[in-house]
Amino acid sequence: MTVSAKGPSKKLIDRARVIRWEIGGDIHERLVEAIYTDAARIADRAVTRPGEERRFDLDRAIDRVVTSRIWGFPIMILLFTLIFWLTISGANVPSQMISRVLIGSVYPFLKEGASAIGFPWWLSGVLIDGMYLATAWVVSVMLPPMAIFFPLFTLLEDFGFLPRLAFNLDNIFKKAGAHGKQALSMMMGFGCNAAGVIATRIIDSPRERMIAIITNNFALCNGRWPTQILIATIFIGTLVPAHLAGLFSAMAVVGIALLGVLLTFVVSWFLSRTWLRGELSTFSLELPPYRPPRIWQTIYTSIIDRTIFVLWRAVVFALPAGAVIWLSANLSLGGQTLAEHLVSFLNPFGLLLGLNGVILMAYIIAIPANEIVIPTVMMLTVLTAGLTGIGEGAGVMFELESTIQTLDILTAGGWTLLTGVNLMLFSLIHNPCSTTVYTIYKETGDLKWTVVSALLPLVIGFVVTFLVAQIWQTLAAL
């Protein structure tokens, strides 16, 4: 019983090796072949096909069109435009209603209540003008478009749309030196970049995974869709006649999303030729059959999982942000409020980028969550420009009248069409939110690459907005 355990097992392994040599040839292949043969025989016995000839297959017919070289991309772009158009034109009425209740009725009621109980002005300021108003803005601006956009997007997902999109994009990703599966993590990023970063786990090669992680931020996420939709409605939609406003705004948003995809390719290409050089790996992508979407279930889960989730996150971040904004606009230092100090400090830099100090400050406050950028911008503009008489209405941003009202506020704050366009660009191209950065750190466990993922988009964003601003101003001066 003192025989070493190594003995017999070692002999066993050696014997297996010898036999493998004796037989020769590719045993793996023969084994796989044997399995396939058995599988085919058993399947053949169990399955009865209807008639000999191949029936018309609807799935294959649809796939032939939506994944075709010529029609694939136009169809996908058209579908996205349709979804945004429905979102933008459908969000008007409910957004106005919510705003009327939250800001038109509840807000004055709270103010009166606070003064009746005898709240000091600063307390009601922080609580009601700051925290409550920021939250009310977030809810009335974000809830309606999300409640329309997410169910529509989820229905497409449920139908089997995303794998086709990935299939169409796969080839371009390979040409960019990245993994084809990056198309899938990018799709996930359109929902949430943190989720997109986690989704890169499907990519086995560390090099290609890192490319996918760094570029995921260029997929426009939930938190940024509302900013894009809103700014497009205000600045692009008002450029064209009213009946075309929705369509043009939608096209502008799709344009920004496509620019994000383009940047993904360009940056992937750049990384795979510089710091992340290496072998390409291959994979096979299966197109699942189209399945009739379960409409009610999808709407239910998309509202619970996505709409409420995103809204909740926005509200959680809007509460403290509202307090910070109000405090910074009311605490004075040497005759000027804190916000005025910061905004005027950031302003020259902002103007260089075709933005302004308010937007940059909003982005600093919004590092935890992109969702609150627009409410922050609005509040800071109103507070620092010293505008009065806008309590209600300012939150109603989708209805045409108030779109113009919002435009008036922003123009009074010194905004131009360039500011709008560059805000859309900067919203696409800037550092990921802190949740995503944290996720990147957890997934890679590497501080250096986390910093690169956070700063690379920011630098690109500065460069792009700077160039656009300079070219724009040069052209305008001509």
Partner 1 sequence: MSEVDIKQARKDAPCETCPVHNAANLKKLGVDMQEWDFVIALAGNPNTGKSTVFNALTGLRQHTGNWPGKTVTRAEGGFEYGGYNYKIVDLPGTYSLLSTSLDEEVARDFILFGRPDVTVVMADANRLERNLNLVLQILEITDRVVVCLNLMDEAKRHGLEVDHRRLARDLGVPVVPTSARYGEGLDELILAIHEIATGETRTKPHRIKALSPELETAVAEIVRELERVYPYLPNRRWVALRLMDGDERIIAAIENGELGTIVEMEVIAEDPGAGKTMEAAV
CB contact at 8 A, 314 and 368: no
Smallest distance, partner 1 to C-beta of residue 11, A:
8
Q: Does 305 bind partner 1 (CB under 8 A)?
A: no
Binding segment for partner 1 among 126-134, 288-296, 334-342, 424-432 (CB under 8 A)? 288-296
Q: Does 300 bind partner 1 (CB under 8 A)?
A: no
Distance CA 223, CA 191 (A): 9
Map the footprint of partner 1 across residues 425-454, applying CB under 8 A.
Answer: 443
Question: For 238, which DSSP code?
Answer: G
Distance CA 183, CA 264 (A): 10
Tokens of 329: 């606009």
Q: What would you report as the CA-atom Rg of the chain, rounded to the nearest whole angstrom?
A: 28
State which amino acid sits at residue 385. Answer: A
Which of 60, 64, 277, 294 forms a contact with partner 1 (CB under 8 A)? 294
Q: Does 304 bind partner 1 (CB under 8 A)?
A: no
When the beta carbons of 5 and 475 are compared against partner 1, the nearer one is 5
Smallest distance, partner 1 to C-beta of residue 420, A:
40
Q: Does 70 bind partner 1 (CB under 8 A)?
A: no
Distance CA 66, CA 178 (A): 23
Q: Does 331 bind partner 1 (CB under 8 A)?
A: no
Distance CA 449, CA 215 (A): 12
Binding segment for partner 1 among 97-105, 286-294, 303-311, 395-403 (CB under 8 A)? 286-294
CB contact at 8 A, 211 and 185: no
When the beta carbons of 46 and 242 are compared against partner 1, the nearer one is 46
When the beta carbons of 27 and 459 are compared against partner 1, the nearer one is 27
Distance CA 130, CA 328 (A): 10
Binding segment for partner 1 among 13-21, 75-83, 246-254, 433-441 (CB under 8 A)? 13-21
Distance CA 44, CA 149 (A): 45
Q: Does 312 bind partner 1 (CB under 8 A)?
A: no
When the beta carbons of 18 and 352 are compared against partner 1, the nearer one is 18
When the beta carbons of 37 and 470 are compared against partner 1, the nearer one is 37
When the beta carbons of 193 and 402 are compared against partner 1, the nearer one is 193
Q: Exposed, middle or buried: residue 306 (CB in 10 Å: 0-12, 13-18, 19+)?
A: buried
Q: Coil, helix or strand for 25? A: coil
Q: Coil, helix or strand for 332? A: strand
Q: Does 61 bind partner 1 (CB under 8 A)?
A: no
Q: In terms of Cα–Cα distance, which of 266, 269, 208, 218 is closest to 432?
A: 218
| Binding-site ranges for partner 1 (CB under 8 A) | 1-13, 15-17, 19-20, 22-23, 27-28, 30-50, 55, 57, 198, 201, 204, 286, 288-289, 291, 294, 443
